[in-house]
Amino acid sequence: MCAGARAYVLKSDLRDNLLSAIESLAAHKPFFTNKVSEALLAAFLARPAHEASTLTEYDRGIVRLIAEGQTNKEMAIMLNVSLKAVETHRAAVMKKLGASHSAQLVRYAIRNGLVEP
């Protein structure tokens, strides 16, 4: 889905669902078979509660700068804030995301399109 898939039909469901999938796509609507919908829902519900929606635009900017390799001092200069402010905000973002080290922030930034891998 992140790559742009708008429909998914299992081989075992082709006979019953292929035509419906084509009609849905022609009408610019997504189509997923029941089995696929159940799997998507299960994956969605299994995700941690701390997702991108909990981050503000400023938070995402901090994560982006960390992922790009900026030091706290460099970020403070770029953002025109104190070093302590950057350290505090960095700790708050890490807490929001449940991250215990910077590598987890880098992985988050890549997975969420904040930086290029």
If asked whether residues 34 and 65 sit together in one domain, one would say no
Closest CA to 47 of 5, 105, 97: 97
If asked whether residues 13 and 56 sit together in one domain, one would say no
Per-residue model confidence (pLDDT) at position 53: 59
If asked whether residues 37 and 88 sit together in one domain, one would say no
Number of domains in the chain: 2
Token couple for 16: 């019953």
Per-residue model confidence (pLDDT) at position 1: 73
Q: Could you tell me the residue range of the domain that residue 82 belongs to?
A: 52-111
If asked whether residues 68 and 88 sit together in one domain, one would say yes
If asked whether residues 40 and 71 sit together in one domain, one would say no
Per-residue model confidence (pLDDT) at position 48: 63
If asked whether residues 64 and 97 sit together in one domain, one would say yes
Q: What is the pTM of this model?
A: 0.55
What count of residues does the chain have?
117
Per-residue model confidence (pLDDT) at position 54: 77
Per-residue model confidence (pLDDT) at position 19: 93
Per-residue model confidence (pLDDT) at position 72: 94
- Beta bridge pairs of residue 31: 7
Q: What is the DSSP string of 15-59?
A: HHHHHHHHHHHHTT--EE-HHHHHHHHHHHHHS-S--GGGS-HHH
Task: Report the chain (117 residues): mean pLDDT per 10 consecutive residues.
Answer: 82 90 92 88 72 77 93 94 93 91 90 85
Per-residue model confidence (pLDDT) at position 92: 92
Residue 67 covered by a domain:
yes
